[in-house]
Amino acid sequence: MKNAVHFTEEDWMRIERDWGLFWQGKLERPIVCIPLVDSSTAPVPEYRYFFPNYGTTLSGTEIMRIESRQMARMRFIGDAFPKRFLNFGPGSMATYLGSRLETAENTVWYHPLGKPLREIQIKTDEKSYWYGRVHEILDAGLSAWGNDVQMSLSDIGGNLDILASLRGTEELLMDLCDDPDRVEALSRDITREWIKVYDAEAAKIQATCRGTTPWAPVWSKEKSYMFQCDLSYMFSEEMFDRFVAPDLEACCDHIPASFYHLDGKGALKHLDSLLSIKKLKGIQWIPGAGQPEPQEWPEVLSKIRKAGKFCQVVYLTPQGAKKLKKTMDLRGFIIQINMPENATPQEAERLYKELVV
């Protein structure tokens, strides 16, 4: 299965060198990732983006046979690298705390516990089915690919996003006003358990792979993660500073290569708080559905860079990436580009060279 990965040892040496320079602030160009499915290869109909959608009967080894066929279709242009996202949905830690996971073809849901806030207790159940399944798949991927493919960390979730899965979003929003002390206590408990969950995955990954990566296009020799709190779209700056910022500070103390997923125009009110977290290394800006594309927000991108943080923009079209290059100094940026469905590796290589010169 390892032989199906289209990436050489020399390619990996380049990734380690250039991403290392990026984290040191010494890379005199942007990081540009263009992962590409080679359209000349046959589709793998059994392949599933979400691991839960493989069902419960296939073993990790059987799943990796399918995954390796999909990996053989992939090409990694520029600063992209072979990776497989350990994808059990955003905030999968909720299942270790009792939330029921429901799957569909292109999504997953986490169902609330149906308990009052005061009855919720935060304790990771390492014997739960989904905790075991995540580690089964992780172990299978590490065994199948070794250090030829970077297995990612799972999308464990943000502290309040996880609590929203346990309590229910509307209920938690009311709790923020009605019982803030209990919410704050539970948030601290989730952060404590979160670090344990993270470390259990990271220990296995770092023992085999060349570094770490979250779901997003980030790679580091050290521990890395893409933090988030999507629920913060719906509450005030004061609530963010009380319930979210302490969690981020604790996690950034633990994880040196840290980014935050700032998702949606309504979350921009929290940007100043994020920029004040000294150990947070970067911000990923996602404008949200119905909003202008990332390259159309130069004031936001400039503010992030002027604050001394790295900046990431993803899902750019080739045209959007070219426009961004014309309007911004792209040093300190991580850019991921989605090529058209039938694009060739040669076209992607030409675009990469145009963006980094």
Phi and psi at residue 259, in whole multiples of 5°? -125, 160
pLDDT of the residue at 268: 97
- Confidence category of residue 119, pLDDT binned at 50, 70, 90: very high
Q: What is the pLDDT of residue 8?
A: 97
Band (pLDDT 50/70/90 cuts) for residue 2 is very low
pLDDT the model gives residue 1? 41
pLDDT, one tens digit per residue, over 124-166 is 999 999 999 999 999 999 999 999 999 999 999 999 999 999 9
Cβ density class 243-271: b for 16+ within 10 Å, e for less: bbbebbebbbebbebbbbbbbbeebeebb
Predicted pLDDT at 272 = 98
H-run or E-run covering 201:
helix 180-208
In the chain, which ranges are E strands?
A: 31-37, 74-78, 83-84, 100-104, 107-111, 150-151, 224-228, 257-263, 282-286, 310-316, 333-337
Whole-angstrom Cα distance, residue 135 to residue 131?
7
Assigned CATH for 2-356: 3.20.20.210
Percent of the chain at pLDDT > 70 equals 99
- List Cβ neighbours of 84 (8 Å cut-off, separation of 6 or more): 67, 71, 141, 145, 149, 150, 151, 152
Across the chain, mean pLDDT equals: 96
Q: What pLDDT digit, counting tens, does each position of 22-35 carry? A: 999 999 999 999 99
The whole-number average pLDDT for the span 74-82 is 98
Confidence of residue 104 (pLDDT cuts 50, 70, 90): confident
- Residues 209-231, mean pLDDT to the nearest whole number: 97
Confidence of residue 105 (pLDDT cuts 50, 70, 90): confident
Q: β-pairing, 310-316 with 282-286?
A: parallel
pLDDT in tens, 278-323: 999 999 999 998 999 999 999 999 999 999 999 999 999 999 999 9
Supply the pLDDT for residue 248. Answer: 97
Give residue 297's pLDDT: 97
Share of the chain above pLDDT 90, in %: 96
Domain ranges for the chain:
2-356
Contact 160, 232 (CB under 8 A): yes
pLDDT for the residue 34: 98
For the cut 60, the answer to whether the pLDDT of residue 100 exceeds it is yes
Strand, helix or coil for residue 123: coil
Q: How far apart are CA 80 and CA 75, in angstroms?
A: 9
3-state helix, strand, coil in the chain (%, to 5): 50, 15, 35
pLDDT tens for 226-265 read: 999 999 999 999 999 999 999 999 999 999 999 999 999 9
